[in-house]
Chain A
Amino acid sequence: MTQLKLQNVSKKFGKNVVLSDINLEVEDGEFVSLVGPSGCGKTTLLRIIAGLESTSGGQVAIAEQNVNQLDPAQRNVAMVFQSYALYPHKTVYENIAFPLRMQAPWATRLPLVARLLPARQSLDREIRSKVVETASIMGLDNLLDRKPGQLSGGQRQRVALARAMVRNPALFLMDEPLSNLDAKLRLSMRSEIIELQRRLSGTFVYVTHDQSEAMTMSNRVVLMDRGHVQQIGKPNELYENPANLFVAQFIGSPTINTLLAEVSSAKTLKLFGNELRQFPERLDGVDIIDYCHQNQTLLLGFRPEAFSLVAPNHPESLTGIVHLIENLGNELLLTVQAESESDPTASNWQHSPGQIQARQTQTGPIVVRLSPRHGQTLRLGDRISLLPDWFQSLAFSSQGERLSGTQPRREQLVA
Chain B
Amino acid sequence: MTAFPSNPSAPPVERQRESKLPLLEKPLYLLPAFGLMLTFVVIPTAVTIAIGFTDWELGLPDFSFIGFENYTELFTNPDYRKSLFNTLMLNCFVVPTSLGISLALALAINSLSRFQGFWQTVFFLPVTTSLVAMSIVWRWMLHPQFGLVNRLLEMVGLQSVNWLNNQSTVLFAIGCISIWQLVGYYMVLFLAGLIAIPKNLYEAAKVDGASSSIDRFIHVTWPMLGPTSLFVFVIVVIKSFQIFDTVKVLTQGDPNKASEIMLYTLYSEGFQFFRMGIASAVATVFFVIMLLLTLYQMRMFERHVHY
Contact = CB atoms under 8 A, between A and B. Distances in A.
Interface in A1-58: 47, 50-52
Contacts of B29: none
Nearest to B305: A89
B207 A87 contact: no
A234 B270 CA distance: 87
A102 interface: yes
A254 interface: no
Interface stretch (B4-12, B219-227, B261-269): B219-227
B204 A79 contact: yes
State the majority secondary structure of interface residues on A: mixed
A91 to B, nearest CB: 10
B200 interface: yes
Nearest to A94: B219
Contacts of A90: 223
A98 B211 contact: no
Nearest to A86: B204
Contacts of B215: 102, 109
B208 A98 contact: yes
Interface string A93-124: 00000110011000001000000000000000
A83 B209 contact: no
A98 B207 contact: no
A214 B207 CA distance: 24
Contacts of A98: 205, 208-209, 219
Given A87-B219, A89-B226, A98-B219, A149 B207 contact: no
B239 interface: no
A102 B201 contact: no
A52 B198 contact: no
A79 B224 contact: no
Interface in B222-247: 223-224, 226
Contact of A85 (B203, B209, B226, B307): B203
A77 B208 CA distance: 8
Given A83-B200, A149-B307, A52 B206 contact: yes
A73 B198 contact: no
A71 B204 contact: no
25 contacts: A50-B207, A51-B206, A52-B203, A73-B206, A73-B207, A73-B208, A73-B210, A73-B211, A83-B200, A85-B198, A85-B201, A85-B204, A87-B204, A87-B205, A87-B219, A88-B307, A89-B223, A89-B224, A89-B226, A90-B223, A98-B208, A102-B208, A102-B209, A102-B210, A147-B307
Shortest 10 CB-CB distances between A and B: which pairs? A102-B209, A85-B204, A73-B211, A89-B223, A85-B200, A99-B208, A88-B307, A72-B206, A73-B209, A79-B207
